[in-house]
């Protein structure tokens, strides 16, 4: 009897973990969408909504192919002194910035 209780407990614990993982996945999906939106509409105010450039340079996959991930990361995080590119670290976490670099590599859909 005790054993069944244990199994039930374990099962419900596993279920809980699965549920919370699922929820976490949803949350990060949402964040992903927010970042896509940010990139398109807010980064887009200087780099163009399709990222083909404006006052700021083009951010198309092709135009960035010679730039290492670290450079993109640090540019977003710290900005580029001497240009209008601001540091985004107050608004974006490191993992946000990594996601943005990934989106830039894959191209905005």
Contact set with another protein (CB under 8 A): 37-38, 40-42, 44-46, 48-50, 52-55, 79, 82, 84, 86-88, 90-91
Q: Quick one: 52 or 67, whose CB is closer to another protein?
A: 52
Q: How far is the CB of 30 from another protein (least distance, A)?
A: 14
10 Å CB burial of residue 29 (0-12, 13-18, 19+) is exposed
For residue 2, what is the enclosing H or E element?
helix 2-37
Residues in the chain, overall count: 109
Q: Quick one: 46 or 74, whose CB is closer to another protein?
A: 46
Give the separation between CA 72 and CA 66, rounded to whole angstroms.
11
Q: Quick one: 31 or 40, whose CB is closer to another protein?
A: 40
């Amino acid at each position: 009897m005790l054993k069944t209780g244990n199994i039930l407990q374990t099962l419900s614990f596993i279920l809980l973990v699965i549920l919370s993982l699922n929820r976490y996945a949803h949350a990060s999906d949402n964040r992903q969408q927010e970042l896509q939106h940010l990139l398109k509409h807010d980064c887009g105010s200087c780099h163009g909504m399709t990222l083909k450039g404006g006052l700021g340079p083009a951010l198309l996959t092709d135009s960035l192919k010679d730039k290492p991930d670290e450079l993109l990361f640090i540019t977003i995080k710290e900005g580029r002194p001497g240009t209008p590119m601001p540091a985004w670290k107050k608004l974006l976490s490191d993992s946000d910035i990594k996601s943005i670099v990934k989106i830039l590599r894959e191209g905005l859909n």
